[in-house]
């Protein structure tokens, strides 16, 4: 049962959302496994559904990243839903919920890992998750949702050389466009890691926007290749997340 303390759309959050276009950042829609390093990257299907219900009840409707160009105060109460990595549990658990509440979303895909697993997380000791394959992505698109690039292999782009940087950014776009026959206009920085050189490479590759992990809403003044996003957690969840981080540090994790 969802209690008022679980609500993420507080009055202060609604005031923030009125200032510009909010872009919500999700990763996985499933119960967090016991061994995960970051349970707050998971939203249970029930939690995800309750958040979309909150948004719908508050009068928000579905927007896209293209709307950021018109986001000078969110008078139309648009909101953008994004997912990073392309986890299969989003396909299995979120599609019906999105349809039920009449929201669309964009999934940022790692082009060389379609149908594989999140090896960048496993390398850090985290839980392995299956990623959407090409047929599932086609169903995602057919349901009215979008896809964007999250690079080819999910590296920290600030730590790669020029040739790999070009392949991760331009090569991933071409790979997705060839596979699905659509234009790929939006990019998302893995780990939220970028610098001016990375940003310039994304712009040069022909994308229209790029998403960061910096918190806040987006207005006409927000740089298109440094868009802000908001992690949809309640006040209680933010406190639990902080406590979780402290426990991990104390335990050497």
- Per-residue pLDDT of 35-62, as tens digits, reads 999 998 999 999 999 999 999 999 999 9
Domains identified in the chain and CATH numbers: 4-243 (3.20.20.370)
Q: Does residue 245 have a pLDDT over 70?
A: no
Give SS3 for 62: strand
> CA–CA separation, 71 vs 123, rounded Å?
38
**Mean pLDDT across the chain:** 92
**Burial label, 226 (beta-carbon count in 10 A; 0-12, 13-18, 19+):** middle
Please tell me the number of Cα atoms within 13 Å of 41 on its side-chain side. Answer: 21
Judge contact between 156 and 116, C-beta under 8 A.
no
Q: Which of 29, 45, 145 is nearest to 90 (CA)?
A: 29
**Distance between the two ends of the chain, CA-based, in angstroms?**
32
* Residue 10 pLDDT: 87
Give SS3 for 222: coil
* pLDDT-derived band at 251, boundaries 50, 70, 90: low
| The length of the chain, given as a count of residues | 253
pTM score, two decimals? 0.92
């Amino acid at each position: 049962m969802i209690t008022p303390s679980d609500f993420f759309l507080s009055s202060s959050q609604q005031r923030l959302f009125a200032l510009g276009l909010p872009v919500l950042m999700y990763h996985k829609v499933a119960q967090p496994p016991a061994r995960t390093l970051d349970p707050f990257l998971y939203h249970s299907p029930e939690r995800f559904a309750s958040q979309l219900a909150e948004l719908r009840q508050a009068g928000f409707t579905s927007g896209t990243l293209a709307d950021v160009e018109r986001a000078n105060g969110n008078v139309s109460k648009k909101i953008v839903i994004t997912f990073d990595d392309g986890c299969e549990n989003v396909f299995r658990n979120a599609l019906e919920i999105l349809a039920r509440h009449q929201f669309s979303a964009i999934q940022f895909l790692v082009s060389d890992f379609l149908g594989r697993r999140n090896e960048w997380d496993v390398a850090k000791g985290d839980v392995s998750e299956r990623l959407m394959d090409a047929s599932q992505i086609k169903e995602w698109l057919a349901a009215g949702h979008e896809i964007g690039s999250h690079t080819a292999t999910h590296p920290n782009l600030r730590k790669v050389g020029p040739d790999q940087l070009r392949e991760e950014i331009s090569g991933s776009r071409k790979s997705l466009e060839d596979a699905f026959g659509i234009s790929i206009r939006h990019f998302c920085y893995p780990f939220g890691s970028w610098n001016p050189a990375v940003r310039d490479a994304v712009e040069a590759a022909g994308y229209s926007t790029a998403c960061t992990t910096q918190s806040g809403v987006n207005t006409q003044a927000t740089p298109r290749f440094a868009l802000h996003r908001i992690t949809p957690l309640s006040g209680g969840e933010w406190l639990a997340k902080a406590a979780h981080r402290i426990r991990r540090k104390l335990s050497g994790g």
